[in-house]
């Protein structure tokens, strides 16, 4: 049976490290402040925003909450982002996605100052990641690298397969694993013979967005399996993109859902905020 990769424990470890760093920064007279903008009242977004505020309180970062109505226009949101870019007190700006359809997400992401881009979604941050320059890393894939390293999973020279190529998970994940000297393959909805490809993986990262899609026959004996997906099943239980019950019998290590990748995303956000204040 696979070893469980405990994201809850590792994320608390990281938050405690950030808390120490924040304390040191404050001793040097640096205040740290994250602005969190939510447009509309999407219930899932409200949960994420609440958890981010709680994490800020835990590590000692001030958070400013902007809760804007669903009908907010693109111009109004751009004006707020511009104000926050100029506000010297604010180190990080986070716009909770998805945004209502009248607002162009890409335009908003580009409007955030790259120095305050703690989500790591701005094209400048993405470009830096691509060419190996220091910059803000997107939180979910950066959290997965931490999970692997802190669970003593060697990446160097390993066959890494990522299923999913989104801008927030799959693509940056491939660049980060490459940076760690993994041999990386990215699969997506046009990939032929997916099972053959995933069965090559020493490290399999799954970010498809389909509940329990990856069954035991997609996995090599002894693989390390990282499940990014989050869903509610027919019984209202949380589950991932991986069929955990089956796959845990074949993998050497696996992340559970909940308690795997999920908690890491917020811890890495806190880490990015501390880094922004330290610039
Ligand atoms: P997207 O929907 O943006 O991307 C899904 C990817 O999976 C696409 O690249 C798509 O391919 C690929 N895909 C879909 N179906 C198949 C298939 N049958 N075979 C192979 N590839 C397929 O999702 P995200 O990356 O944003 O998120 C993925 C999951 O992770 C979701 O469940 C989301 O909720 C969760 N998530 C969790 C986070 C956390 O903190 N734990 C953070 C972010 C996301 P194509 O590009 O060809 O369409």
All structural domains of the chain with their residue ranges: 29-113, 139-262
Predicted confidence at residue 279, as pLDDT, reads 81
Average of per-residue pLDDT values in the chain: 97
Predicted confidence at residue 11, as pLDDT, reads 98
* Residue closest to 122 by CA, chosen among 131, 134, 111: 111
- The domain 139-262 belongs to what CATH superfamily? NAD(P)-binding Rossmann-like Domain (3.40.50.720)
* Intrachain domains 29-113 and 139-262 with the same fold: yes
Nearest CA to ligand 1 atom 2: 209
35: left (phi over 0), alpha (psi -120 to 50) or beta: beta
User: Which residues are the active-site residues?
Assistant: 52, 96, 119
Nearest CA to ligand 1 atom 40: 262
Cβ–ligand 1 contact at 164 (below 6 Å): yes
Nearest CA to ligand 1 atom 19: 189
Distance CA 266, CA 279 (A): 20
Condensed to tens digits (0 to 9), the pLDDT of residues 7-23 reads 999 999 999 999 999 99
* Count of other CB atoms within 10 angstroms of residue 222: 11
| % of the chain at pLDDT higher than 70 | 100
Q: Are 116 and 102 in contact (CB under 8 A)?
A: no
Condensed to tens digits (0 to 9), the pLDDT of residues 40-71 reads 999 999 999 999 999 999 999 999 999 999 99
What spacing in Å lies between the alpha carbon of 110 and ligand 1's midpoint?
22
Confidence check: pLDDT of 172 > 90: yes
What spacing in Å lies between the alpha carbon of 56 and ligand 1's midpoint?
27
Confidence check: pLDDT of 109 > 90: yes
Closest ligand 1 atom to 262 CA: 41
What spacing in Å lies between the alpha carbon of 207 and ligand 1's midpoint?
4
Condensed to tens digits (0 to 9), the pLDDT of residues 219-236 reads 999 999 999 999 999 999
CATH code matching the domain that covers 29-113, chosen among 3.40.50.10860, 3.40.1350.10, 3.90.1150.10, 3.40.640.10: 3.40.50.10860
Q: Are 275 and 14 in contact (CB under 8 A)?
A: no
Residue of 119, 228, 232 with the most ligand 1 atoms within 8 Å of its CB, for mutation: 228
Judging by beta carbons within 10 Å of its beta carbon (0-12, 13-18, 19+), is residue 110 exposed, middle or buried? middle
What spacing in Å lies between the alpha carbon of 31 and ligand 1's midpoint?
36
Q: Which two tokens stand for residue 156?
A: 């160097």
Nearest CA to ligand 1 atom 42: 140
């Amino acid at each position: 049976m696979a070893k469980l990769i405990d994201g809850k424990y590792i994320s608390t470890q990281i938050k405690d490290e950030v808390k120490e760093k924040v304390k040191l920064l404050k001793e040097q007279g640096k205040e740290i402040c994250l602005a969190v903008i939510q447009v509309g009242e999407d219930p899932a977004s409200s949960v994420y925003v609440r958890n981010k505020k709680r994490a800020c309180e835990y590590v000692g970062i001030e958070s400013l909450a902007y809760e804007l109505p669903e009908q907010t226009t693109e111009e109004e949101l751009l004006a707020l982002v511009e104000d926050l870019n100029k506000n010297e007190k604010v180190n990080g700006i986070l716009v909770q996605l998805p945004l209502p359809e009248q607002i162009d997400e890409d335009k908003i992401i580009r409007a955030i100052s790259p120095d305050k881009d703690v989500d790591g979604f701005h094209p400048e941050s993405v470009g830096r990641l691509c060419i190996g320059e220091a910059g803000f890393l997107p939180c979910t894939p950066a959290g997965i690298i931490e999970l692997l390293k802190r669970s003593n999973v060697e990446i160097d020279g390993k066959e890494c397969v990522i299923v999913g190529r989104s801008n927030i998970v799959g693509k940056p994940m491939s660049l980060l694993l490459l940076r760690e000297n993994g041999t990386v393959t990215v699969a997506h909805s046009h990939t032929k013979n997916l099972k053959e490809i995933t069965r090559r993986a020493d490290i399999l990262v799954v970010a498809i967005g389909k509940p329990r899609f990856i069954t035991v026959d997609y996995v090599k004996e002894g693989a390390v399996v990282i499940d990014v997906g989050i869903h509610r099943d027919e019984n209202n239980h949380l589950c991932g993109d991986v069929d955990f019950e089956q796959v845990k019998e074949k993998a050497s290590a696996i992340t559970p859902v909940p308690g795997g990748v999920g908690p890491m995303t917020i811890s890495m956000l806190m880490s990015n905020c501390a880094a922004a204040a330290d610039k």
